[in-house]
Amino acid sequence: MNPLNILSEDELLFQQEIRKFAKTKIKPKVGEMDEKEELDSSLISDCFDMGLMGIEVSSDFGGSEGSFFMSILAIEELAKVDPSLSVFVDVQNTLVNNIFSRWGTLQQKQKFFPRLTSKEVGCFCLTEAESGSDAFALQTKARDEGDSWVLQGKKVFITNAKEASIFVVFANINLEASYKGITAFILEKGMPGLSIGKKEVKLGIRASSTCEVLLDNVKVPKTHILGELGKGYKIAIETLNEGRIGIAAQMLGLAEGAFEGALRYSQERKQFGKTIGSFQGVQFQLAKMACEIEGVKLLVYNAARLKDAGLPFTKEAAIAKYMASEVAERVASLSLEVYGGYGFIKEFPAEKFYRDVKIGKIYEGTSNLQLQTIYKHLEKWELVLA
């Protein structure tokens, strides 16, 4: 795909800048970060310095004042080299900043955006041990104590929790009201009772932190409520709809990174006196991968463009995430096979892409949930068959 056909000049320049950053600064540190299971602190600082942690945020609050589509481009380019750093940037932009942009008061934006765009990491705390796909079964409680709310509970599988200073936490102010009691709160590192629990050891995206967030009677000022009381379910749903395009972009970038490595290797590795890319069997594998990647790119970009245009995009976001995770898994597997035995060792990138890809079918809505969302948005059968 010729990017000149689908990207504006500003978007193309932005993409090229992120691509250069990924190849020159991130790539040399990918293996070490994976082994240590943590992001390099200098790269985190670089992400802030480049404006990647506040891409859509207004310049009035220190942001880059870009588009949602530009966030998607950044996530894609970073994932070509390291899906771990990609999801780090993704969560900040499509989840945390998104929530503050849409539901934060002016005072909340003035207080938190300058921090989120310059030096502080945010995280999105929804999942609990008994409420994964059934997100609205969450049991974290918030009780009213006059001038504040007090939160009690435990969140699990929280991305960026280790690095975070600002936490968007969903808790229920009335468990009897079920999802209609769910409310979004802003918590800050250092609040008594707020702590980080176990850091998970994962199959893939190992440098990305995934931790428990423990809430032991955390006192939260009433000025730290995001949106309306009892409307946290709406915030969570709508935010995740946008976040799924981010995960789709991550999977797209991962597939592209795995494919590019396999294509390059096929032109270098020789067997039977010629490169393995000279054999039709390998050529057909690479051609099929290229076709699927091209299709997913169009799906992801279309969903992002719809969002920026203010048009309905929920179904398109679900399709993009579902297809991107499916394609990325196939591409990561086939790419590893192109390397043969070398694909199975850590010296080459195929092994890591293969480990990193599996999470795409799981987080921010499993593949089955995406299919359910897609089905709900289909027209009535009689209209389809008419």
Map out the domains of the chain as residue ranges. 3-121, 123-230, 234-379
Determine the pLDDT at residue 382: 53
In whole angstroms, give the CA distance from residue 253 to residue 328. 9
Element (H, E) at 114: helix 106-118
Domain 123-230 has CATH 3.40.50.300: no
Q: What is the CA radius of gyration of the chain?
A: 21
Determine the pLDDT at residue 378: 87
Determine the pLDDT at residue 6: 83
Closest listed residue to residue 21, CA positions, set 64, 74, 68: 74
Tell me if the pTM is above 0.85: yes
Q: Out of 1.10.10.10, 1.10.510.10, 3.40.50.970, 1.20.140.10, which CATH number does the structure's domain 234-379 have?
A: 1.20.140.10
> What DSSP character marks residue 24?
I
**Which residues are marked as active site?**
364
In whole angstroms, give the CA distance from residue 254 to residue 307. 22
The CATH class given to the 3-121 domain equals mainly alpha
In whole angstroms, give the CA distance from residue 164 to residue 153. 18
In whole angstroms, give the CA distance from residue 369 to residue 332. 23
**What are the two backbone dihedrals, phi and then psi, of residue 68, each rounded to the nearest 5 degrees?**
-60, -40
- Regions of the chain short of the pLDDT cut 70: 1-5, 379-386
Determine the pLDDT at residue 103: 98
User: Would you call 333 exposed, middle or buried from its count of C-beta atoms within 10 A (0-12, 13-18, 19+)?
Assistant: middle
Task: With both helix axes pointing from N to C terminus, report the angle between 280-308 and 68-79 in degrees, rounded to the nearest 10.
Answer: 150
Determine the pLDDT at residue 3: 43
Task: Report residue 126 as tokens.
Answer: 């929804």
Determine the pLDDT at residue 135: 82
